[in-house]
Chains A and B, each alone.
Chain A
Amino acid sequence: MTRSPSETADSPLHDLVENAALLPLERRTFLKACGVFIATAHAVACSRSPERIVPYVEMPEELIPGNPIYYASAITRSGVARGVLVETQMGRPVKLEGNPAHPESLGALDAYTQASIRMLYDPLRSQFAVDGGRPADSRRINERLAAARTELQQGRGKGVVLLTSTITSPTTAGLIAAFLKQYPEASWYQYDPLSPEEQRSATRMIFGKELQPVYRFDQADCVLSCSCDFLLTERGSLRYARDFSQNHHPASRMLKLYLAESSYSVTGAKADERAALRPSEEMALIGEVARLVGALPDWKPGALRPELNEFAQHAAKSLKKGGPKALVVAGERANPEVQGIAFLINSTLGSIGRTISFISPVEGVALGTPNNSRAGLAELVGRMNGGEINRLIIAGANPVFAAPADLEFAGAMDRVKDTWHLGLIRDETGGRAKLHIPQAHELESWGDARAFDGTVTLIQPTISPLFGGRVLNELLSQLIDQSESSAEELLRRHWSAAHPGDPASFQRFFDQSLKAGVVEGTALEPAAPRPISDAAARFRPVSSAAVSAAGAVELVYCPDPAVWDGSGFHNAWLQELPHPFTKLTWDNALLLSPADMKANNLVNGQMVEIKVGERKLRPAVFGLAGLPEQCVTLSVGYGRLYQGDTLGFNAGVLQTRAAFWSASDVQIAPLGRDYRLASTLGLVSMDRPAPTRMFGLSQLPALKPASEEQPSLYPPKDRSGEQWGMAIDLTSCIGCNACVTACQAENNILVAGKDQVARGRSMLWLRVDRDTDEHGRVNFQPVPCMHCENAPCELVCPVAATAHSHDGLNQMTYNRCVGTRFCSHNCPYKVRRFNFLSHADDTGPMLALLRNPDVTVRERGVMEKCTYCVQRIQEAKIHAGRENRPIADGEIVPACAQTCPAHAIVFGDVSKADSAVSQKKASPLNYGLLAELNTKPRTTYLARVINDEEV
């Protein structure tokens, strides 16, 4: 792996050596402890309490004990639904998979959604209500609700404010409408730090109304993205990732992606041509493209750096050639004017209605324009400070953490007489509220939500609320009419109102919608609006002065690739997930370009003081090649308390209303202090460098299948019968980490924690290596076990705990393993993980419910690794065996391949020439990792292809 100098400068390896003495014990104490341990171990080993079997009294009809049942439902990210299929085992939800019928998921899920199931069982979940600092029971909450209702009636809602996160649920929107109708003096605000309000301003500016774009990457020949991370953080990203990766592939039409951005996103890593620019240069760049394309003919070229100018020329030429099949996308949180120009270019190209269409925003559809912006929140804070508000009901939102810092929401909250908080976690807002009510997890509740294109999914519970959590719909209903309607009744009532007709046909509709996971015909009608007449006239060219002077540093904020806006912060799976580029776990860091690192004399992990106006933060820094110079990046969602420790650095203390997504004139001063960052970069890596292979599209015709056959001293393996293998297409892989979390969920992989990860003891079976080539281009390379035919690990195991199966799997038998770790030392790919500690015991009985019953939970002292999801292979064999038929191609899908939005991973029988995996492997792009070692890996890669065609 090639790394920039700033990355290698501070190798965490020396840390390992320094911390070699793990136990702060003296020799004598240690020996005494050993004695006590041995004595007690003998004492407790004498008897075993008998295991019990507890059958049902009345067994549910559809249940077959031991077999999973899947329910269609949805998980929301910032209010927008992703369709899931929830796997339940004997009544416990254990795994989420994408719902193929859902327009965004199409069967795939991202890491955030995969991990959301962990919060259902997490011990950090709020488990009881807190009223005035004291635990309260359900009766007490009902009393509070009744009292609040009386007050609401008396004052017609005066002084009562409902503050929610993004609501896309038609049922909730209907209830809020009813609430506001009954109590006209009350008001409703929505606040979500990641809501695309810049995008709405842009559509207002260009089309005269609030709209939401929907892109068709499957229809595009050429795409220009301006800070648009449509593969991971944009609304609809899962669908876009699928469409893009299928179309950005040599087997398809191989669209060309131009991308300019200030940070480094996974979408940026997939760009065929990428430009790193500072936020202040965005406007000049897109304006120049608009001028060249003819969208803004009067635009005067600003002061563009030569390389940006060249990028603009290339992009414009390509866009013009693409015409209606070209697409310009700007990030939903980018400067509204940049987004506006992007819409104008699309309009000029004629792509509106083809590669881009518009729908009305999915949030608050039933209510028209929602009060959903930072300006709206500022108005609310003004009212709170003015003493106008005496009851604030906050549901799902965390404004104390996520509101712009200059609003000082926390102070305003203290001025409100009564504050309520409904949330999954008693977070910053919950801790400050007078009344905190635990919220039911989405897997425990009834409800509905819209997808990015408006399609509604009915959310159904898969388990009763573990801690008696409540949902917003029930609270609203109780406040409206005292009726204690359940969330299910409310949902049925809403949808039966929309479906007049006899109850039997409604029941059919309801059952059908629940089963399918989508409500037919609810997608919002896409439109192809025209820009208003004076839309283009409003853009004046930026003078060279508007571009920040050289020397002034700019700062960009972005959603965190793992914890999102902070809503995934308490989720240990997301914390342990390495950042796509820096491989940081359990922290974020201020990302600097290597040049800026050098200029400030910094190495990874050193702390700096960063000053934005009067606001200060002291983050640790991390170097990342590919970032623009004089521009630093910090992700939001960090700097919070996790079991007593502050993890990461809170960008929120710097974000103000005026400068929420970027800031200029930032000062950085090294503090000369170190911070312990846990990055897996270089800690868990291959024995020797194996740079990702990459070819240009123009090189493909000359490419011939490379024979990697080498002589071997080992006897040839019997290859009769099924032979499992995997192909990973690096052109498709977007480095989103979804496979890593899916693997963790499927295979009971335990969380090691920051300290252990920093020691190189991350337990994740699947890692995504990234390497940077000489042009700063980043390649992602998922590395599971290679299941080598000549596996080096098998030769050195003294107890035959790892051995080869006849169908080509490198098996790991945990109960045989004695923990010598020879296998891991001999593995050139370093894909084996050792249980140094007994992680299973630390997590408590709650998380035991999450475990997959088909996979052994490994104990301390045992080696483990990717098994190709052998439990799924065995299940398919058993299933086919029961039906007395062969296993069909594609019947076995490992968890990583199942969840991949890009279809980058293909698994199957390599002994059959017509299987999907064999066809992939037949490509001339196919190669084995470190094949020169003659390990004959069964997992092979398809080299990355970039579109290098000149326009």
Chain B
Amino acid sequence: MPQLFPPVADTFVKVAIVAVAAAAVVFFPLRSLVIRSPYITGIGRYQQQPFQFSHLHHVGEVGIDCRYCHTSVEKSGFAGIPSTNICMQCHSQILKDSAMLEPVRESLARHTPLSWIRVHTLPDYVFFNHSIHLAKGIGCESCHGRVDQMPSITKHLSLTMRDCLDCHRNPEQHVRPKEELFSFGREEPNRGDVGVTLAREYKIGERNLTDCMVCHR
């Protein structure tokens, strides 16, 4: 029976083995670099919204409390996006003729809702609940960052599972006193016993926070 392969085939195989190994060494770190890059996660990326709303102005400069607009944040899983009516509660008095606010006035007059592009989004199989995080002493800033410095809202964290687990594994580093939940610029993470004391007060740690069904249902 004649040989199926010429002698040079050995070399091909050796090169191929080395090439595959080298590719794996390059590929996996590269892949993790790519999927964690802001290009994929969208951290810090401005989203062109249909209408320009500045958290920097409303939160940072004017000092409106988050709950004034995000009304259901303490009662429901969903923080709530303000209805046009809420905008107009102030803007029927302040800047009521501003050209910038024309879309808001039009929304109320024509009874057509404003339509925002979602920035903080989670996959459909993840169930995040705002109300319980606030009840257990996790402030807005922990996930949303310095909203008071954002002229247009952007992501502060990638909101991948790693971000969730970082905190669910060490909640005492992130808990805050109740009066600081809605304030920004507080130094993180907690040092010393502060967090541990707070966590005990909030009864964090009575239930395991890393069980799958805490987030996946």
- Give chain A's interface residues, CB within 8 Å of chain B: 50-59, 64-67, 721-722, 803, 805-807, 809, 811, 813-816, 854-857, 867, 870-871, 873-874, 877-878, 881-882, 884
Q: Is the interface of A mostly helix, strand, loop or mixed?
A: loop
Contact B213 A64 (CB under 8 A): no
Asked if A50 and B75 sit within 8 Å, CB to CB, the answer is no
- How far is A593 from B135 in the complex, measured between Cα atoms in Å? 62
- Say whether, besides A806-B207, A854-B217, A878-B129, A55 and B124 are in contact (CB < 8 Å): no
Please pick, from B116, B124, B135, B214, the residue contacting A53 in the complex, using a CB distance under 8 A.
B116
Q: Which residue of B lies closest to A870 (CB)?
A: B213
Question: Is B211 a contact of A807 with CB atoms below 8 Å?
Answer: yes
- A57 near B83: Cβ-Cβ < 8 Å: yes
Of A55, A856, A871, the residue contacting B84 (CB under 8 A) is: A55
Query: CB distance A857 to B84 under 8 Å?
Result: no
By beta carbon, the residue of chain A nearest B47 is A50
A884 touches B203 (CB 8 A): yes
Contact digits for B59-75, partner A, Cβ 8 Å, 1 yes 0 no = 00000000000011011
On whether the beta carbons of A59 and B85 are closer than 8 Å, the reply is: yes
Task: Count chain B CB atoms within 10 A of each CB in A57, A857, A870 and give the residue with the most.
Answer: A57
- A814 and B125 CA atoms in complex are apart in Å by 8
Residues in B116-136 with C-beta less than 8 Å from chain A: 116-118, 121, 123-125, 127, 129, 131-132, 135-136
| Interface residue? B184 (CB, 8 A) | no
Across the interface, which residues of A come within 8 angstroms of B112, CB to CB?
A: 57
| Nearest A-chain residue to B114, judged by Cβ | A55
Contacts of A884 in B (CB 8 A): 135, 203
**In the bound complex, how far is the Cα of B77 from the Cα of A50, in angstroms?**
21
With A65-B76, A813-B212 known as contacts, the answer to whether A59 contacts B83 (CB < 8 A) is yes
Q: Is B83 a contact partner of A58 (Cβ separation < 8 A)?
A: yes
The answer to whether B125 and A721 touch across the interface, beta carbons within 8 angstroms, is: no
B216 touches A67 (CB 8 A): no
Instruction: Check if B108 is an interface residue, CB within 8 A of chain A.
Output: yes
Given contacts A67-B76, A877-B207, contact A55 B81 (CB under 8 A): yes
- Beyond contacts A57-B83, A854-B217, A877-B132: 13 other A-B pairs, Cβ-Cβ < 8 A, are A50-B47, A55-B116, A56-B83, A57-B111, A67-B75, A721-B208, A722-B207, A805-B208, A806-B208, A811-B211, A871-B127, A878-B132, A881-B136
Q: What CA separation (Å) do A613 and B116 show in the bound complex?
A: 70
What is the distance, in angstroms, from B172's C-beta to the closest C-beta of chain A? 17
- Give a binary string over B173-217; 1 marks a CB under 8 Å from any A CB, 0 the rest: 000000000000000000000000000000100111001111011
Q: Does B115 contact A (CB under 8 A)?
A: yes
Q: Are A854 and B127 in contact (CB under 8 A)?
A: yes
Closest Cβ–Cβ distance, residue B167 to chain A (whole Å):
16
Residues of A within 8 Å of B129, CB to CB, are 878
Instruction: Check: B38 CB closer than 8 A to any chain A CB.
Output: no
Residues of B within 8 A of A58 (CB): 83-85
Residues of A within 8 A of B125 (CB): 814-815, 856
Cβ–Cβ contact B216 & A815, under 8 A: yes
Chain B residue contacts of A56, Cβ below 8 A:
83-85, 113
How far is it, in angstroms, between the C-alpha of A814 and the C-alpha of B215 when the chains are bound? Answer: 12
Whether B214 pairs with A874 at a CB distance below 8 angstroms is: yes
CA distance A65 to B216 in the complex (A): 20
Complex A-B, nearest 5 residue pairs according to Cβ-Cβ distance, in ascending order: A66-B78, A66-B76, A805-B211, A806-B208, A55-B81
Chain B interface bracket (under 10, 10 to 19, 20 to 34, 35 or more): 35 or more
How far, in angstroms, from A884 to B131 measured CA to CA in the complex? 12
Q: Is B142 an interface residue (CB 8 A)?
A: no
Determine the chain A residues whose CB is within 8 A of the CB of B213 once the complex forms: 805, 809, 811, 813, 867, 870, 873-874
Among A53, A64, A855: residue with most chain B CB under 10 A: A53
Given the known inter-chain contacts A50-B47, A51-B121, A58-B83, please indicate yes or no for A66 contacting B116, CB distance below 8 A.
no
In whole angstroms, how far apart are the Cα atoms of A101 and B148 in the complex? 50
Residues of A near B113 (CB, < 8 A) are: 54-57
Residues of B within 8 A of A51 (CB): 117-118, 121
Interface residues of B (CB under 8 A from A): 47, 71-72, 74-78, 80-86, 107-108, 111-118, 121, 123-125, 127, 129, 131-132, 135-136, 203, 206-208, 211-214, 216-217
Contact (Cβ within 8 A) B217 A52: no
Number of A-B residue pairs having CB atoms within 8 Å of each other in the complex: 128
- In angstroms, Cα B75 to Cα A877, docked, is 14
Q: Closest chain A residue to B82 by CB distance? A: A55
State the Cβ distance, A53 to closest chain B Cβ, in Å.
5
Q: Tell me whether A53 and B84 are in contact in the complex, defined as CB-CB below 8 angstroms, given that A856-B216, A878-B132 are known contacts.
A: no
13 A-B contacts (beta carbon < 8 Å): A55-B113, A57-B111, A64-B72, A65-B78, A65-B80, A67-B76, A803-B212, A805-B213, A809-B211, A867-B213, A874-B214, A878-B129, A884-B203
Q: How far is the CB of B8 from chain A (nearest CB, A)?
A: 31
A284 CB, min distance to chain B CBs, angstroms: 58
Which residues of the other chain, A, contact B72 by a CB distance below 8 angstroms? Answer: 64-67
Which one of A59, A721, A814, A857 contacts B206 once the chains associate, using CB atoms below 8 Å? A721
A934 to chain B: closest CB distance in Å? 24
Instruction: State whether B117 touches A52 (Cβ < 8 A).
Output: yes
Closest to B206 in A: A721
Contact (Cβ within 8 A) A57 B84: yes
Assess the A806–B211 pair: CB atoms within 8 A.
Answer: yes
- Docked Cα-Cα span, A816 to B81, in Å, equals 31
Q: Chain A nearest CB: distance from B34 CB in Å?
A: 15
Complex interface: chain A residues within 8 A of B86 (CB): 59
| A-chain residues with CB within 8 Å of residue B78 when the two chains form the complex | 65-66
Give the CA-CA distance A155 to B97 in the complex, in Å: 64
CB distance from A512 to the nearest CB of B (A): 26
CB <8 Å contact, B217 and A871: yes
Q: How far is the CA of A325 from the CA of B108 in the complex (A)?
A: 67
Which listed residue, A65, A811, A855, touches B212 by the CB 8 Å rule?
A811
A855 to B124, alpha carbons, bound, how many Å?
A: 9
Chain A residues whose C-beta falls within 8 Å of the C-beta of B85 in the assembled complex:
56-59
Which residues of A are found within 8 Å of B115, using beta-carbon distances?
A: 52-54
Taken together as a complex, chains A and B put the C-alpha atoms of A807 and B214 apart, in Å, by 11
- Please give me the residue from chain A that is nearest to B70 by CB atom: A65
A541 to B94, CA, bound (A): 93
Report whether B132 and A881 are in contact in the complex, using a CB–CB cutoff of 8 Å: yes
Q: Which residues on A sit within 8 Å (CB–CB) of B127?
A: 854, 871, 874
Chain A residues with CB under 8 Å of B111's CB are 57
CA distance A804 to B74 in the complex (A): 30
A43 to B168, CA, bound (A): 37
Question: Considering only CB atoms, which chain B residue lies closest to A718 in the complex?
Answer: B208
Taken together as a complex, chains A and B put the C-alpha atoms of A808 and B34 apart, in Å, by 38
Q: How far is the CA of A814 from the CA of B123 in the complex (A)?
A: 12
User: Which residues of the other chain, A, contact B216 by a CB distance below 8 angstroms?
Assistant: 811, 813-815, 856
Expressed in whole angstroms, the Cα–Cα distance for A696 and B5 within the complex equals: 79
Question: Is there an interface contact between B116 and A52, defined as CB atoms closer than 8 Å?
Answer: yes
Give the chain B neighbours of A806 by CB distance below 8 A: 207-208, 211
B217 and A721: CB pair below 8 A? no
A54 surroundings in chain B (CB, below 8 A): 113-116
Q: Name the distance in Å between B56's Cβ and chain A's nearest Cβ.
A: 20
CB distance from A320 to the nearest CB of B (A): 56
Cα A809 to Cα B135 with chains together (Å): 25
Question: With the chains together, A57 CA to B87 CA distance in Å?
Answer: 10
Asked, given contacts A66-B77, A854-B217, A856-B124, whether A882 binds B114 with beta carbons under 8 Å apart, the answer is: no
Q: How far is the CA of A689 from the CA of B214 in the complex (A)?
A: 35
B30 to chain A, nearest CB (A): 19
Q: Does the CB pair B81–A53 fall under 8 Å?
A: yes
Contacts of A874 in B (CB 8 A): 127, 213-214, 217
Assembly CA distance A163 to B131 (angstroms):
53
* Complexed CA–CA distance, A56 and B74 (Å): 19
CB neighbours (8 Å) of A813 from chain B are: 212-213, 216
Measured between alpha carbons, how far is A722 from B206 in the docked complex, in Å?
10
Which residues of the partner chain A approach B132 to less than 8 Å between Cβ atoms? 877-878, 881-882
Smallest CB–CB gap between A797 and chain B, Å?
12
- Establish whether residues A53 and B217, one from each chain, have CB atoms under 8 Å apart when the complex forms: no
User: Taking the nearest CB of chain A, how far is it from the CB of B76, in angstroms?
Assistant: 4
In the complex, the chain B residue whose C-beta lies closest to that of A722 is B207
Q: How far is the CA of A743 from the CA of B216 in the complex (A)?
A: 18
Residues of A with C-beta under 8 A to B214 = 874
